[in-house]
Each structure stands twice: as C-alpha cells, then as structure tokens.
C-alpha cells in the first residue's frame, strides 16, 4: 500500500508548495517538474529497450510551437489535444521507418530529427506564412502551469509503473535484452516498440505544450534547443533509466545543478555538461539506484 500512498502524499504536498514559495522558487519547481516529466517519458521507451532517442526536443519543441500557432484560434484543451496528435503522428512515422531496423538507425534518425523539424518549420514560416516568431498570450497563471506539469509528471510516473507490471513492460524488457529471443517468443517487435515510442513522444510533446506560455515569445531556434535533449538523456541515465524513480532521482538534482551552473558559469556551461555526461557513462553506467543497491549488497555480503 505504501507504494501508492507515499507518492500520493508527496504529490499533495508538492501541489500546495506554490502557495508559499516566491516566483523564483515557483520557476524552479516548474523546471524540475518539466525535467522529471521529460526524463521519465524518455525512459519509458529508451530506458527499457536501449533504443537511445536523441529526439526529445523534436517533440518538446513541436508541442511548444503548436501552442504558439494555435493559441489564438482554438481553446486551450483543443490546442493540447492537437499537440498530442501531432507529436504522436511524427513519432508514428519516424517509428515505422526506423524501429524495424537495427537500433543504430533509429539513433541516427533521432539525432537529426530536431534539426530537421526546426528547419522545416523555419522554412515554412519564412516562405509560406511570413511570420517567423510568434507570441503566446494565454490566460494561464504560472501556478496553473506548475500544477499541469506536476500532473503530467505524476501521470507519466504512474503510467510507467503500470507499464512495468504489464505485458507491454515485460515485452520492452525482453526487447532490451535480446530482440531475437523476443521475436521467437511471440512478441510483435514492431508493434511493441512503436506503441512505447508513440506514448513517450505524446508525453514529451505535451510537456512542451504546457510549458510554452512561459516562453511568451516562441521561435524555432528557442524551442528546438538541442541542450534539452541532452539534459533529458543524462538525467534519466544518472538515476537509472530502467527504474521507475530513476529519472526523477536524476532530474531534480541535475536540474538544480544546471540552473546554478548556467547562471554562474554561462561560458563554460557546455563543457561542464559534456564532462558530467561522460562521467555518468563511465562511472554509473547503470544509474545511481543500481550502483547504490550494488554497494549496499556488497556491504551486506561483507558483514554476512
């Protein structure tokens, strides 16, 4: 029971925090909630299957840009729905083309996807609509953005927990270990991978859509910032991408560290990021949770 009750209590506490913090604090909370969502959604697909997606910002940016384009013509709910549909469709097309092949093709494609979407939107805006750069005027308070993002994070983690216990989760884990065995055991590889990838992409797109009012002014080069993809991957890896709470555990501290680094060392920020990333790959390849468990296990073994 405590597996459900404790997170719910935590969620309730997090929901009332904005009533007491400053605007700056609230900004940090939104950022942390956003990265918890992004890292968890990323891990939902990539953590289990080891298909490393470098395309987080392609979906995040698509979500933000959809809001920027549609916010004056449609109601907020309808805009979110459109964003989810668009993100899901892109994921479906990309997945259909690349997920039936070896993982490396998928990685390469996802690597360039954000740049591709960015250039296509830029080209379209410049040549067809003639408006590069858009404003988002929505009647949404910062607190509401926080609550929405907190809700999305909670949904993502709950969904992940459910998937971990479902046939889908089991299929994903088998695929991550050995696709040949998976196929000969009766798992429909393409369908399982596609389903998880699209689910993950829809959440990433919604995260971009929900935070977009914070930007006020949106332009492809702002919302398709590759650093977002990069941060998402490193956060999920640090905590442990195949664990339920791994991405959260990586996202919160790293987000705070990155905030501090980017305001105090703006010039050397990318260097520090790169070093940190390489450090994670070499030192905690299976994530902090797994490393801690191993250390504890060893300590236990030494005592016993």
Partner 1 sequence: MLSTTLILGLVLGGTYALLALGLTLQYGIARIMNLAYGEFTLIAAFLVVASFQHLGVPPLVALPFVTIAGYGFGWLLYQVMMRPLVARSGSSGRLEVDSILATFGLLFLIQGVLLVGFGANFTSISYLDRGIDVLGVSVALNRLIAFAICVLAGGALVVALQKTRWGLIMRAVALTPGSAPLVGIDVNRVARQGFAIGSALAATAGASISMYQTFSATGGVVFTMKALVIVIMGGVGNVPGALAAGLALGLLETFVATAIDPGLTLAATFAIFLLVLLWRPQGLFGART
Partner 2 sequence: MSFLEIDRAVKQFGGLRAVSDVSFTLEKGEVVGLLGPNGSGKTTLINLVSGALPATSGDIRLDGLRLTGLSRDRIARAGVARTFQLVRTLPSLSLVENVMITAVFGRHAHWGAAARRVALGALEMVGLSDRAGVAAADLTYIDQKRLELARALAAEPEILLLDEWLAGLNPTELAEGVALIRTLHQGGLTILMVEHIIDAVRALCPRVVVMNSGELIADAPTDIALADPMVVSAYLGGEVDA
Binding site for partner 2 (CB under 8 A): 167, 170-171, 173-174, 176-178, 180-189
Contact status, residue 172 vs residue 192, Cβ threshold 8 Å: yes
278 binds, among partner 1, partner 2, none (CB under 5 to 8 A by kind): partner 1
We find the least distance from the C-beta atom of residue 34 to partner 1, in angstroms, to be 20
Among 39, 54, 244, 251, binds partner 1 (CB under 8 A): 54
In the bound state with partner 1, the residue whose beta carbon lies nearer, of 9 and 126, is 126
141 binds, among partner 1, partner 2, none (CB under 5 to 8 A by kind): none
In the bound state with partner 2, the residue whose beta carbon lies nearer, of 74 and 168, is 168
Containing H/E element for 296? helix 288-303
Selected range binding partner 1 among 20-28, 156-164, 182-190, 276-284, rule: CB under 8 A: 276-284
- Joined together, the tokens standing for residue 280 give 């994670």
Among 25, 133, 274, 297, binds partner 1 (CB under 8 A): 274
Contact status, residue 208 vs residue 83, Cβ threshold 8 Å: yes
- State how far the Cα of 37 lies from the Cα of 43, in Å rounded to an integer: 10
We find the least distance from the C-beta atom of residue 177 to partner 1, in angstroms, to be 10
In the bound state with partner 2, the residue whose beta carbon lies nearer, of 191 and 268, is 191
**182 is a contact residue toward partner 1 (CB under 8 A):** no
Phi then psi for residue 275, to 5 deg, are: -60, -45
281 binds, among partner 1, partner 2, none (CB under 5 to 8 A by kind): partner 1
233 binds, among partner 1, partner 2, none (CB under 5 to 8 A by kind): partner 1
Angle at which helices 226-239 and 288-303 cross, to 10°: 20
- State how far the Cα of 193 lies from the Cα of 190, in Å rounded to an integer: 5
We find the least distance from the C-beta atom of residue 270 to partner 1, in angstroms, to be 3
In the bound state with partner 1, the residue whose beta carbon lies nearer, of 33 and 241, is 241
Instruction: List, in sequence order, every beta strand (DSSP E) within the chain.
Output: 134-135, 217-218
How many helices (H) and strands (E) in the chain? 14, 2
In the bound state with partner 1, the residue whose beta carbon lies nearer, of 10 and 279, is 279
Compute CA 192 distance to the chain's CA centroid, rounded to the nearest angstrom.
19
Number of residues that bind partner 1 (CB under 8 A): 44
Q: CB atoms < 10 A from the CB of 109, how many?
A: 19
Residue the block writes with tokens 């016993």? 304
CA atoms within 13 A on the CB side of 197: 29
Containing H/E element for 61? helix 56-70
We find the least distance from the C-beta atom of residue 100 to partner 1, in angstroms, to be 9
**232 is a contact residue toward partner 1 (CB under 8 A):** no
273 binds, among partner 2, partner 1, none (CB under 5 to 8 A by kind): partner 1
Compute CA 33 distance to the chain's CA centroid, rounded to the nearest angstrom.
10
Q: CB atoms < 10 A from the CB of 283, how many?
A: 10
**216 is a contact residue toward partner 1 (CB under 8 A):** no
Q: CB atoms < 10 A from the CB of 285, how many?
A: 10
Q: Which residues bind partner 1 (CB under 8 A)?
A: 50, 52, 54, 97-98, 101, 103-105, 107-109, 111-112, 115-116, 119-120, 122-123, 126-127, 226-227, 230, 233-234, 237, 267-278, 280-282, 285
């Amino acid at each position: 029971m405590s597996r459900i009750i404790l997170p719910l209590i935590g969620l309730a506490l997090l929901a009332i925090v904005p009533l007491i913090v400053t605007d700056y604090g609230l900004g940090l909370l939104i950022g942390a909630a956003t990265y918890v969502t992004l890292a968890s959604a990323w891990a939902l697909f990539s953590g289990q299957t080891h298909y490393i997606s470098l395309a987080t910002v392609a979906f995040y940016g698509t979500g933000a840009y959809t809001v920027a384009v549609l916010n004056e013509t449609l109601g907020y709910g309808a805009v979110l729905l459109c964003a989810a549909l668009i993100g899901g469709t892109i994921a479906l097309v990309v997945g259909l083309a690349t997920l039936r092949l070896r993982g490396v093709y998928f990685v390469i494609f996802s690597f360039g996807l954000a740049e591709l979407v960015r250039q296509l939107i830029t080209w379209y805006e410049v040549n067809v609509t003639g408006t590069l750069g858009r404003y988002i005027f929505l009647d949404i308070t910062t607190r509401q953005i926080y609550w929405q993002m907190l809700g999305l994070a909670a949904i993502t983690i709950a969904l992940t927990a459910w998937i971990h216990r479902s046939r889908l989760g089991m299929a994903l884990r088998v695929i991550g270990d050995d696709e040949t065995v998976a196929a000969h055991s009766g798992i429909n590889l393409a369908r399982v991978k596609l389903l998880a990838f699209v689910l993950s992409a829809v959440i990433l797109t919604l995260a971009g859509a929900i935070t977009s009012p914070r930007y006020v002014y949106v332009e492809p080069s702002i919302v398709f910032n590759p650093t977002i993809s990069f941060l998402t991957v490193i956060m999920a890896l640090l905590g442990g991408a195949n664990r339920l709470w791994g991405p959260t555990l990586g996202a919160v501290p790293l987000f705070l560290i990155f905030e501090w680094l980017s305001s105090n060392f703006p010039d050397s920020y990318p260097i520090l990021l790169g070093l940190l990333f390489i450090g994670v790959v070499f030192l905690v390849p299976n994530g902090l949770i797994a490393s801690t468990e191993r250390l504890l296990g060893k300590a236990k073994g030494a005592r016993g």
